[in-house]
Amino acid sequence: MKRTLLTLLILFSALFLAQAQRVEITPFGGYVFPARWNASNGSLYFYGNAQYGGILDIGMSRVVDIELMYNRIDTKASSEAIGYPYDDVPLSENYYMVGVTKNFRVNPTVSPFLGMSLGGLYLAPKTSQYYSYWFFAMGVNGGAKIYFNKFVGIRLQAQLLMPVQSGGFSFYYGTGGGGSTVYLNSTLFDFGFTGGLIFRIGR
């Protein structure tokens, strides 16, 4: 699954790189706050910790970017589930995300932005007692890019990443008409701040 997702991301990025006006590569680091993941028989508490990774922004126009991101969080989780011992399990949260970013050019130096993304979370415990799992994930982010010149800048942002625990689809039809509903549910909210150095290629 992990290898398949990486292959799809590479193919996806290659498709847009052919049409790109510019490319920005941003290695980043930051901090994510503690979070709790609730379930029917208990919960998991995730400790706050450092996060790091990389972002590839592919400029499709002056103000719209296609964004590919890898974000890793090395942390510990404490089980509060009924019937399970309360212990600290070291694990990594690995987010693989694809999104769209809207830039708001204030001037040639400062560019605030907002973005949304979809992808997957690979939750990988670092002990053999527990299994690794994949989850569908969503994300939103916002911040500002500050450029020192045409090729180098810094990116400061806040981001919220959310793995999806459950979802569904329903369709109904009656005398008053018909319709459909799609729902997604998540109780884990990985919120944090990051900063990174932008390396820009192109216009």
| Residue 115: band (very low, low, confident or very high) from pLDDT cuts 50, 70, 90 | very high
Query: Of residues 128 and 191, which shows the higher confidence score?
Result: 191
Task: Return d(Cα 17, Cα 66) in angstroms, integer.
Answer: 10
pLDDT at 77: 86
CA distance to 76, 102, 114, 170, per residue, from 143 (Å): 28, 11, 7, 36
- Which domains, ranges and CATH numbers included, belong to the chain? 2-202 (2.40.160.20)
- Could you tell me where the DSSP H helices lie in the chain? 2-17
Average pLDDT, the chain: 81
Q: In the 8-state DSSP scheme, what is residue 20?
A: -
CA distance to 100, 139, 184, per residue, from 177 (Å): 35, 34, 24
Residue 200, amino acid: R
- The average pLDDT across 166-195 equals 57
pLDDT at 34: 94
| Residue 55: band (very low, low, confident or very high) from pLDDT cuts 50, 70, 90 | very high
**What token pair was written down for 18?**
């052919």
Task: Return d(Cα 90, Cα 129) in angstroms, integer.
Answer: 11
Q: In the 8-state DSSP scheme, what is residue 48?
A: P
Name 142's bridge partners: 114, 158
The share of the chain scoring above pLDDT 90, in percent, equals 48
- The average pLDDT across 26-46 equals 86
pLDDT at 133: 85
Question: Contact at 8 Å (CB) between 137 and 118?
Answer: yes
Please, what's the largest Cα pairwise distance for the chain? 63
Burial code (b: 16+ CB inside 10 Å, e: under 16) for 118-153 equals ebbbbbbbeeeeeeeebbebbbebebbbebeeeeeb
Task: Return d(Cα 37, Cα 47) in angstroms, integer.
Answer: 11
Name 29's bridge partners: 52, 195
Question: Contact at 8 Å (CB) between 24 and 32?
Answer: no
